């Protein structure tokens, strides 16, 4: 499976990119939770057990599971000359601007993490001051700093591999993330899609150095002709305009329509896929809270290298039915019960990963929503989620499909 091929949300899943939570979660503290976009601190051993269960569910369904950290290590092993370039870039993007600390951190990593994968994992985990050798730097900041201070912040959100980059048909969007702490996550995708033999040469529809924010949780492939993107707390409309221009003007792309979903900007409705996912040919999960304020814009080529935009004022079912090609059913999170919907939406009840039409991976804890899905004929593969759910993301958030079979 050379390159990428994701032209739907429900086609038989053949290859997926995950990141197993690592020591980056150990560098979460109550004082850094808000900055690092967490509401609580997951217990790492249990989070890893749950993530392993997730990966094993996928393998049991015939999916090839590859890990972000392994792909990055393979790039650097194949091209050792990139190691120092990557390390320099990572140190700079971690906010280190002095030659002295650049050299201290470089020496520390090269001395203690000579193995490529160990080094990659350390860049994900972050560095605090007490790890570095104590040197008399003659700097006031070092005399007054707490030795537990984070010098290079961790990337605890990395197990949500959906967001830093997103497959669009046979291409990829390498995203500019909403927050500074997550924007560094896209370094790995940048190297993988430039240099990894399995992915190099993939058309790039957005670049991490572009101006506007967009995250993969807002990008849904409806079919080979239609792409849905959420205008959300973390994705700006300007980025959608840019992707539309690049996709429509790529002769290898089959996409001729982008549906922009304008969803409320809030933590509970962080991305489009936290409130809306496709689970079968004619079925979608949806959080009932977005039904009222949801507006859909249809973006198509204007035939002159630009785009034309039309606001769709019809019911969501009608708009989706038109583009899916048959009547659709929207299945509400929590079965429509307001309290259950709000509770299970907090734990991503609408955020499912479709393995094949009608078979989805879900969090076990969302039992009300899962029961509703069962009654609608959906095969739910339930995974444990006591700790992973603390990061506010579900099975779709934790996975980046690289290859799906055609419908």
Rounded to the nearest 10 degrees, the angle between the axes of helix 82-93 and helix 68-78 is: 130
Asked if 336 and 369 touch (Cβ cutoff 8 Å), the reply is no
Of 45, 63, 43, the C-alpha closest to 55 is 63
- Which residue matches tokens 């010098």? 151
Spatial contact of 283 and 336, defined as CB atoms under 8 Å apart: no
How far from 199 is each of 191, 204, 226, CA to CA, in Å? Answer: 10, 11, 23
Mutual angle of helices 116-125 and 82-93, in 10-degree steps:
10
Establish whether 397 is a catalytic residue. yes
Q: Which among 152, 333, 380, 397 is annotated as catalytic? A: 397
Cα distances (Å, whole numbers) of residue 238 to 37, 104, 217, 306: 24, 40, 17, 14
Burial (0-12, 13-18, 19+ Cβ within 10 Å), 97: exposed
Going 158 to 159 to 165 to 171, the CA torsion angle's sign is positive
Where on the phi/psi map is residue 111: left (φ > 0), alpha (ψ -120 to 50), or beta? Answer: alpha
Strands 171-174, 204-206: pairing kind? parallel
DSSP 169: B
Contacts (Cβ under 8 Å, ≥6 apart) of 245: 306, 307
Measured distance CA(269)–CA(290) in Å, rounded: 8
Q: Can you give the three-state secondary structure of 237-306, one letter per residue?
A: HHHHHHHHHHHHCCCCCCCCEEEEEECCCCCCCCCHHHCEEEEECCEEEECHHHCCCCEEEEEEECCCCC
Please list, in sequence order, all residues whose beta carbon lies within 8 angstroms of the beta carbon of residue 208, skipping any fewer than 6 positions away. Answer: 174, 175, 176, 183, 186, 187, 189, 190
Q: What share of the chain is helix, strand, coil (3-state, %, to 5)?
A: 35, 20, 40
- Catalytic sites, residue numbers: 397
């Amino acid at each position: 499976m050379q390159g990428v091929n994701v032209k739907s949300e429900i086609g038989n899943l053949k290859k997926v990119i995950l990141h197993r939570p690592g020591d980056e979660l150990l560098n979460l503290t109550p004082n850094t939770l808000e900055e690092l976009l967490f509401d609580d601190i997951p217990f790492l051993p249990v989070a890893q057990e749950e993530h392993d269960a997730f990966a094993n569910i996928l393998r049991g369904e015939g999916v090839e599971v590859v890990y972000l950290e392994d792909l990055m290590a393979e790039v650097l092993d194949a091209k050792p000359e990139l190691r120092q370039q990557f390390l320099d870039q990572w140190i700079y993007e971690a906010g280190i601007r002095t030659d002295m600390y650049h050299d201290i951190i470089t020496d520390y990593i090269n001395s203690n993490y000579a193995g490529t994968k160990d080094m990659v994992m350390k860049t994900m985990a972050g560095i605090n001051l007490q790890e570095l050798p104590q040197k008399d730097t003659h700097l006031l900041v070092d005399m007054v700093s707490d030795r537990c201070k984070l010098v290079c912040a961790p990337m605890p959100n990395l197990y949500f591999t959906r967001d830093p980059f997103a497959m669009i048909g046979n291409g990829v969007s390498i995203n500019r993330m909403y927050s500074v702490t997550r924007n560094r996550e896209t370094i790995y995708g940048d190297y993988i899609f430039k240099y990894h033999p399995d992915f190099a040469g993939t058309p790039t529809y957005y670049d991490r150095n572009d101006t506007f924010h967009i995250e993969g949780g807002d990008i849904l492939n409806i079919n080979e002709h239609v792409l849905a993107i959420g205008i959300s707390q973390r994705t700006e409309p300007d980025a959608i305009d840019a992707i539309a221009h690049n996709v429509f003007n790529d002769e290898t792309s089959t996409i001729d329509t982008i549906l922009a979903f304008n969803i409320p900007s809030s933590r509970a409705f962080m991305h489009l896929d936290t409130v809306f996912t496709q689970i079968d040919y004619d079925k979608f999960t949806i959080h009932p809270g977005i039904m009222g304020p949801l507006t859909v814009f249809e973006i198509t080529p204007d035939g002159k290298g630009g785009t034309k935009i039309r606001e769709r004022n019809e019911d969501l079912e009608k708009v989706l039915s038109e583009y899916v090609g048959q009547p659709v059913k929207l299945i509400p999170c929590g079965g429509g019960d307001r309290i259950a919907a709000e509770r299970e939406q907090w734990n991503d009840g609408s955020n499912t990963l479709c393995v094949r039409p009608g078979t989805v991976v879900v969090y076990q804890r969302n039992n009300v929503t899962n029961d509703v899905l069962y009654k609608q004929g959906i095969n739910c593969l339930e995974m444990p989620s006591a700790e992973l759910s603390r990061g506010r993301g579900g099975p779709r958030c934790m996975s980046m499909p690289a290859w799906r079979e055609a419908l």
